[in-house]
Amino acid sequence: MTEAIIVNGFVASGVYALLAIGFSLIFGVARIVNLAHTAFYMLSAYLIFTFTKSMGLPLLLSIVLSIIAVTIVGTLSYKLVIARVRQHEATTLIVTIALAIIIQEAIFIRFGGDPSSVPKLISGTTEILGVSVLNQQLLTLGIVLLLLLATWALLIKTRLGTAIRSTAQDREVANLMGIAVPRIEMITMAISVAFAAIAGALIAPLFVLSPGMWMHPLVMILAVVVLGGLGSLKGSLIGAFVLGFAEILVVFLAPSGAFLRTSVALTIMLIVILIRPQGLFGIVFEEER
């Protein structure tokens, strides 16, 4: 029981962390609330399913292909749709919801509502401290850690990272310093969608796929980024672990936990932002009052 909670908690938190960091990045840099974020994650999982089951491609190749394809779709939808309406906040929300519904319905028409599943990348289990863990779960955790390190390195150590961080801090001053803000925003969008695609590739072998699978993670990552503070990557990471574990604990321990898991996670989020309105690590922007 305890082992199951720990392993599942880490996997769930890791996936939420990946999704939330991508969501947080594009919000921090471009102030876009991308409600289609988890739809891209679902799209990636389904693309892997298509490539392996219908076209018979090897699994690794189809994962790479689907991540590339989803990133292209995400960047195009940013360029062609979101970027045009972004000065109207409410319209941006609706446009991203519409994108998510388009992806959901396209998947529904192509695959039907029945749940489907994808083969595991590596099979078998490993014994750690007397607990048997699926190798796929270990792989998921490893990739999550690797990606988090890579993001940190990208943001702190490279010129691109500096440009992204300065755009997030102050668009106008960044623009004056010679940073091509629209280009940085597009690159950030690509990174953000790529993260969602990778998260989708990671969970595809672990969970069943269905066209409604984007709703629950969307709610969770909204809670995660608010809990951690919008635009703060450290906050997103910690928030993901808090809510991921809370959810798994409720599922395993509480009676009728499957119904209450979202409620409990969201209640935790509410309590935190009622005490600290800007979230755990959020920054209050002066000009945004």
Q: Which stretch binds other proteins (CB under 8 A): 3-11, 77-85, 133-141, 157-165?
A: 77-85
For position 89 contacting other proteins by CB under 8 A, the verdict is yes
The secondary structure of residue 124, as a DSSP letter, is S
Shortest approach of other proteins to residue 110 CB, angstroms? Answer: 10
**Which residues are CB-neighbours of 70 under 8 A, at least 6 positions away?**
40, 43, 44, 47, 193, 194, 196, 197, 200
Q: Which amino acid is at 285?
A: F
For position 273 contacting other proteins by CB under 8 A, the verdict is yes
SS3 77: helix
Residues 198-217 that bind other proteins (CB under 8 A): 215
Q: Which of 5, 57, 85, 187 is the binder for other proteins (CB under 8 A)?
A: 85
For position 138 contacting other proteins by CB under 8 A, the verdict is no
Q: Which two tokens stand for residue 175?
A: 């623009």
Q: Which stretch binds other proteins (CB under 8 A): 9-17, 144-152, 167-175, 258-266?
A: 258-266
Q: Which of 121, 163, 269, 280 is the binder for other proteins (CB under 8 A)?
A: 269
For residues 163 and 25, is the Cβ–Cβ distance under 8 A? no
For residues 244 and 9, is the Cβ–Cβ distance under 8 A? yes
With the C-alpha atoms ordered 112, 259, 18, 225, is the resulting torsion angle positive or negative? positive
Q: Which two tokens stand for residue 62?
A: 């189809």
For position 84 contacting other proteins by CB under 8 A, the verdict is yes
Binding footprint of other proteins on the chain (CB under 8 A): 27, 33, 81, 84-85, 87-91, 93-95, 97-99, 101-102, 105-106, 108-109, 215, 219, 222-223, 225-226, 230, 256, 259-264, 266-267, 269-270, 273-274, 277-279, 288-289
